[in-house]
Amino acid sequence: MIIILTQCFPSRVGGIETLMYDIASNLSIKHEVKVLADQHDASKDLKFDKNNNNFSIFRFKGLKFFRKRKKFNQLKKICSVNKIDAVISDSWKSLELPINFLKENKIPIISLAHGNEIIIKNDNHLKRIKKILEMTNAVVVNSAYTKNLLTKISENLKKIEIIYPGVQSTNNITEQNIDLNNGNPTLLTLARLEKRKGHSLILKSIFNLKKIYPNIQYIIAGEGDQLENIKNEIKNYNLDTNVKLVGTINESQKKFIFSKTDIMVMPTLDQSHANSIEGFGIAYIEAAQYGIPSIASNIGGTPEAVLHNKTGLIINNLNELDESIKKLIENKQYRIKLGQNAKIRADNELNWEKQIEKYNKLIDNFQ
């Protein structure tokens, strides 16, 4: 049996939420899986859980202290009557309470590391991270960049394994239409509405490029604390007919939007000073799966998600954004070729069948 401890899980929307679900779903092909997750929205979580038949989900609500305590009690209950092959946590934070219990009971522990959560804030924070991760049997990271961050925290980690996030087959997903403007070309950013995702920068580029491509369309999918700022910028740039805010989208809507998209654009900003980095960038490989090239910044782990001049373009200077977008618009054959390369890589190297083999191998080696 595999137990997954996580604060991040659907129905809540986000890259880590999707990742933890995909890990649970794919591990359940070979193992019995139980997920112990925080409850975020009772009605949405209930609906999501009812539609899941692959593994068991336990939800925990209330203040963080009580959620952690309830989750720990459930963990102990499951461990008392089952042989546990491994416990996988979404990050070191989910292990703070149960780590000693797991070590005492010789239960193998895998912690994931994504980037943001291992940025050191102070000495006490460093001690907490170091203590937990040094007690794990393995840490799975999403990029070589994140691995490098970890090695700066501790040289005593038992094992660090790079396993890129995977992509699920979309063959069985039915498209669900969304009302979009009939633009040409169409650009997309699929991300939380956060400063570091670069929406403001893209809007400025759309304003500049509109003079050349009056029918250009920019779709912004996601929600977040920058929504009002983005709305104001759209108004100030007079881009109401060129920009479409679609909010949070499901997989069926995502498939429809990708079918209308020419270029994925997410030039992440360096916000490491504000404890915010891009460890990999799942949205880039989601676009790749649909044959869409991406434009990304040379920041964090994004050059591992987007291979420059092969599956997209990496810009070293944010001033290069306008020209990079223009390059992909003007040279259709080049754009199509990058998209084809991106899809081949997603299908052959980043599919979940291959990624989950690496998790299974890791777990098997503990036995």
User: DSSP per residue over 331-352, as a string?
Assistant: -HHHHHHHHHHHHHHHHHTSBH
pLDDT of residue 271: 58
Asked whether 328 and 295 are in contact (CB, 8 A), the reply is: yes
Same topology for domains 2-166+352-364 and 186-348, yes or no? yes
Residue-wise DSSP of 253-283: HHHHHHHH-SEEEE----BGGGTB--SS-HH
Residues of the chain predicted below pLDDT 50: none
Element (H, E) at 295: strand 294-297
Domain at 2-166+352-364: CATH code? 3.40.50.2000
Give the Cβ contact number of residue 311 at 10 Å.
Answer: 27
pLDDT of residue 272: 58
The whole-angstrom separation of Cα 186 and Cα 217 is 5
Domain ranges of the chain: 2-166+352-364, 186-348
Q: What CATH topology corresponds to 186-348?
A: Rossmann fold (3.40.50)
Closest CA to 221 of 262, 250, 259: 250
